[in-house]
Structure 1
Amino acid sequence: MDVVAACRAFVAVSGHGSFTSGAAAAGIPQSVASRRIAALEEHFGARLFDRSSRAVRLTSFGQDMLPSARRLVDLTDAMVDDAARARLRPLRVAVPEICPPRRLADLVVAARRQRIHLEVRQAGPGERARLCQTLEVGAGIMAVPDAAASWRVPLGLAARTPFPAATVFLETLRSGRARTQARRRILIQPEDDVAHLRDPLARAGQSAGLAPAQVTVAPSLVDAAAAALGSPDLLLCSRQQAEEFDLHWRPVSGPRLLRGYDVVAGVREDLDRLSTVLYADIARCLGTSDGHSRPTGGSPPGNSSTGDPM
């Protein structure tokens, strides 16, 4: 017996003083209401209604049971409302600032199709780590080394003019003895100002004979792109970013430069939804080129296993 359904019929009939009107109010046929109330009476071992007259009247037992039945029906309705709100609980996710707005919008749409109410907040690597640690977001797409990554984005150098070769050799950026030309700089955008990208590139530049100032971190992606568009300087970026800025892009000979990303989340369900259900959509936002990166497990916000965010 469905006790809640039976109590709902009991409350409706008692409130309208009629099986016909009460059943209509409950949205069920009169015969169903009668059967449910009869089953409830059998379950309790006492009659709820006096059916000896044309009017439906509560028995003394029915009067005693009615408040409890109302509380059960009200509690059930409240639980249904709570469940509906819980399904719409926003999953706030910190994402890289380099994600194009259109692709983020597509991600939100894809999430809604899966009944995931996604709210994205764009931030740099350090800020994403802070947002996760302070629980201002429920999850974050964090910058991690290649070996720990679920998503990988190859990086190269972009310039306003075409490159003479299919690969950029850092040695070609050295200034000659005459020093008549300004040194071409490699500009690192804030998203790539993390130890596992910045430091290998700086070491490779030193080995190639570049001056320390030739590998530098720009204040923002806009500043870095503006410098690449308006000067011989080079922007360290993904192929997708180079296309967005209408720059020519080539991979770097030497260090294997890959942006690595993984999910951290405070709730296992959120981790699973981001790393599996929305995996391909997140990949498109990040600009991965092959789509073959492996989903891996994540860590709760604030766990240092996500790698050095700075």
Structure 2
Amino acid sequence: MPPDGYAWWYVDGISRDGEQQISIISFIGSVFSPWYRWSGRRNPEDHCCINVATYGRGGRWTMTDRGQAALRQSRNTFEVGPSKLTWTGRQLLIDIDEVAWPRMHRLKGRVTVTPSAITSVELPLKQDGSHVWRPFAPSSEIEVDLNQPGWQWTGHGYFDANFGIHALEDDFSYWTWGRFPTADNGAYCFYDATVRDGSELAVGLHFGADGSAEVIDAPPRTRFARSKWLVRRETRADPGYTPLQVADMLDAPFYCRSAVRTQVFGEEMVGVHEALDLDRFASPLLKPMLAVRVPRRAGWRFGD
């Protein structure tokens, strides 16, 4: 991977009753790590992590920035420290063994993602191809089994990846993304961004349960309530319909993830939505704040 580059693999899920959510992001060149920025972004593999966040009663957070010695990869396995992802050919198995914040106890267990199908979509987020989105499985089943009381559940899941060769804040000033499962086991995905070269990204896709993908003429961008940190939020919604946050997941000064209800082509859906203010993220004042939530453990090695 080139200097300044990044790759991340993202999984999320919402329980069937809507009361619990999870997100897991596995990074090489951790784009939200202050340590990667402070290093000059010269070696992405020296800043890797598996970020796990659980939301709802008993929610936990873990995101440890680790050095290159903690990274191990093969065709079907991705390991960072004591946690790993394994692709079996049918399922993505995520084995978690991390120290969770704020109570500093061990967060252990397995998350299993079973896609209804794998798509063939690979979408450049900039015209020069310097940032790419790969939605592997927009419609999946997810099973969560963690060492927390009540954290054994199933629900609707999602699995994608992003790759790039430049820092996000260098190329984008704002972006918003959402994935919304449909009643027929498909999903709508919307990716909108303001690029620093003056162009705009505006993508709407419908994914079938069989992995088929269709570009759609998406309904208009519609603003809804700002986050607690006043991050601007918008997503696609039918004219006259105002999206609504139904669960607060992650709320940071520059970033918001939440479960949101919207309506697209007459169908109401609840999915996961993200808004990212990269002007705010670019501020050097934020980096010390992030370091509190993203500790650095450069010396971890397999066998420790």
Is the TM-score greater than 0.5? no
Please identify which structure carries the higher strand content. Answer: 2
TM-score normalized with structure 2 length:
0.22
Structure number with higher relative contact order (C-alpha < 8 Å, ≥ 6 residues apart): 1
TM-score normalized with structure 1 length:
0.21
Please identify which structure carries the higher helix content. Answer: 1
- Which is greater in Rg? 1
